[in-house]
Amino acid sequence: MTHESTAVGLASAYSNATTASGDWWRDAVIYQVYVRSFADSDGDGIGDLRGVRSRLPHLARLGVDAVWLTPFYVSPQADGGYDVADYRAVDPLFGDLADADELVRAAHGLGLRVIVDVVPNHTSEQHPWFRAALAGEPGARERYLFRRGRGADGSLPPNDWESIFGGPAWTRVADGDWYLHLFAPEQPDLDWTHPEVTAEFDSVLRFWLDLGVDGFRIDVAHGMVKADGLPDIGRGAQATLIGTEPLPFFDQDGVHEIHRAWRRLLDSYEGRRIGVAEAWAPSSERLALYVRPDELHQAFNFRFLNCPWDPEAMRTVIDESLSATTAVGAPTTWVLSNHDVVRHVTRYGGGRQGLARARAAALLMLALPGSAYLYQGEELGLPEVTDLPPESRQDPAFRRVRRPQIPVPAGAPAPGSGPAAPGIIAPRDGEPPAPTPCEPAPEPQLAPQPHGHTGPEAEPGTCPAPEAQGHTGPGAGPGPEAGGGLGPEADAGGGPGVDPLTAPEAEGQDGLRDGCRVPIPWDGPEPPYGFGPAGSWLPQPPAWAGLSVAAQTGDPHSTLELYRAALELRRAMPGLGAPGAGPSPDPRGMRWLPAPDGVLLFTRPGFACTLNTRPDAVELPAPGRPVLSSAPVETDGRTVRLPPDSCTWWAF
Say whether pLDDT at 397 is over 80.
Answer: no
Mean pLDDT across the chain, nearest whole number? 82
Of 86-90, 317-321, 599-603, 625-629, least confident by mean pLDDT is 317-321
Sheet of 607-612: strands edge to edge? Answer: 591-592, 599-604, 607-612, 646-651, 625-629
The average pLDDT across 579-606 equals: 77
Residue 647 phi, psi dihedral angles, 5° rounding = -135, 140
Say whether pLDDT at 62 is over 90.
Answer: yes
Q: How many CB atoms lie within 10 A of CB 102?
A: 15
The average pLDDT across 134-160 equals: 96
The pLDDT score that the predictor gives to residue 511 is: 52
Say whether pLDDT at 399 is over 90.
Answer: no
The average pLDDT across 399-416 equals: 42
The pLDDT score that the predictor gives to residue 183 is: 93
CA 390 to CA 398: how far, in whole Å?
9
Say whether pLDDT at 520 is over 50.
Answer: yes
State the alpha helices, DSSP H only, in 289-350. 302-306, 311-327, 344-347
CA 590 to CA 604: how far, in whole Å?
5
Our answer to whether residue 278 is catalytic in this structure is: yes
Q: pTM for the full model?
A: 0.83
The average pLDDT across 163-188 equals: 94
Q: 377 or 407: which carries more pLDDT confidence?
A: 377
The average pLDDT across 8-37 equals: 69
The pLDDT score that the predictor gives to residue 240 is: 84
The pLDDT score that the predictor gives to residue 5 is: 52
Say whether pLDDT at 353 is over 90.
Answer: yes
Of 111-115, 491-495, 515-519, least confident by mean pLDDT is 491-495
The pLDDT score that the predictor gives to residue 85 is: 98
Say whether pLDDT at 40 is over 50.
Answer: yes
The pLDDT score that the predictor gives to residue 239 is: 85
Of 278, 378, 489, 507, which residue is the catalytic one?
278
CA 618 to CA 615: how far, in whole Å?
9
pLDDT tens-digit profile of 244-262? Answer: 899 999 999 999 999 999 9
Q: How confident is the model at residue 602 (pLDDT cuts 50, 70, 90)?
A: very high
The pLDDT score that the predictor gives to residue 532 is: 97
The pLDDT score that the predictor gives to residue 242 is: 85
574: nearest Cα among 609, 606, 608, 610: 606
Residue 108's identity, in one-letter code, is: H
The pLDDT score that the predictor gives to residue 285 is: 87
52: nearest Cα among 462, 583, 522: 522
Our answer to whether residue 312 is catalytic in this structure is: no
Q: How confident is the model at residue 9 (pLDDT cuts 50, 70, 90)?
A: very low
The average pLDDT across 164-174 equals: 92
Q: How many CB atoms lie within 10 A of CB 312?
A: 12
Q: How confident is the model at residue 2 (pLDDT cuts 50, 70, 90)?
A: low
Report yes or no: 184 and 396 within 8 Å, Cβ to Cβ: yes
Of 223-227, 463-467, 581-585, least confident by mean pLDDT is 463-467
The average pLDDT across 297-323 equals: 93
Q: How many CB atoms lie within 10 A of CB 564?
A: 18
646: nearest Cα among 600, 583, 584: 600
Q: 15-42 burial by CB neighbour count: b if 16+ within 10 A, else e?
A: ebbbbeeebbbbbbbbbbbbbbbbbbbe
The average pLDDT across 581-592 equals: 58
Taking each helix axis from N to C end, the angle separating 195-211 and 97-109, rounded to the nearest 10 degrees, works out to 50
The pLDDT score that the predictor gives to residue 211 is: 98
114: nearest Cα among 185, 49, 180, 27: 49
- The DSSP element (H or E) to which 218 belongs, if any, is strand 215-218
The average pLDDT across 397-421 equals: 41
Of 117, 125, 219, 384, which residue is the catalytic one?
219
Residue 477 phi, psi dihedral angles, 5° rounding = 90, 180
Say whether pLDDT at 317 is over 60.
Answer: yes
pLDDT tens-digit profile of 547-565? Answer: 999 999 999 999 999 999 9
The average pLDDT across 191-207 equals: 98
The average pLDDT across 319-346 equals: 93
pLDDT tens-digit profile of 464-484? Answer: 332 222 222 222 332 322 333
CA 314 to CA 617: how far, in whole Å?
19
Say whether pLDDT at 581 is over 50.
Answer: no
Please tell me what DSSP assigns to residue 581: -
Say whether pLDDT at 393 is over 90.
Answer: no
Say whether pLDDT at 4 is over 70.
Answer: no
The average pLDDT across 133-161 equals: 96
The pLDDT score that the predictor gives to residue 400 is: 54
Say whether pLDDT at 503 is over 60.
Answer: no
Of 130-144, 235-249, 390-404, 483-497, least confident by mean pLDDT is 483-497
Say whether pLDDT at 495 is over 50.
Answer: no
Q: How confident is the model at residue 282 (pLDDT cuts 50, 70, 90)?
A: confident
Report yes or no: 265 and 205 within 8 Å, Cβ to Cβ: yes
- The DSSP element (H or E) to which 358 belongs, if any, is helix 351-367
